[in-house]
Amino acid sequence: MEDKKTVVSHKLILDSRARGMITGVLDVDDFDGEKIQVQTEAGRMLIKGENLHITSLNVEKGELELEGKVDSLAYTGKGMDKKEESFLKRMFR
């Protein structure tokens, strides 16, 4: 049987700058309490803030939920460089 990823369109929901949900997530590149860098269907997204936490991540469904104070959100580019590895891939070598 072949594993298939479900392709989900990219959507961002941010509630009162405190909670958010992102769909169309391909991978998480990096995260800590001050930033979350995510690869999405629409390109790389950088979220900056305070006390940021990923509360739920399902890469197979392409969904990420976060909490914390969001100060800024920016799309920093389309696609991931082949030379770069995601944080999760480096973590599970």
Q: Residue 72: which pLDDT band, with cuts at 50, 70 and 90?
A: very high
What is d(CA 46, CA 79) in angstroms, rounded to the nearest whole number? 13
What is d(CA 50, CA 46) in angstroms, rounded to the nearest whole number? 13
Highest mean pLDDT among 5-9, 71-75, 89-93: 71-75
What number of other Cβ atoms are within 10 A of residue 51's Cβ?
10
Q: Report helix, strand or coil for 90.
A: helix
Q: pTM for the whole thing? A: 0.74
pLDDT value, residue 60: 92
Tell me which residue has tokens 């992102």: 22
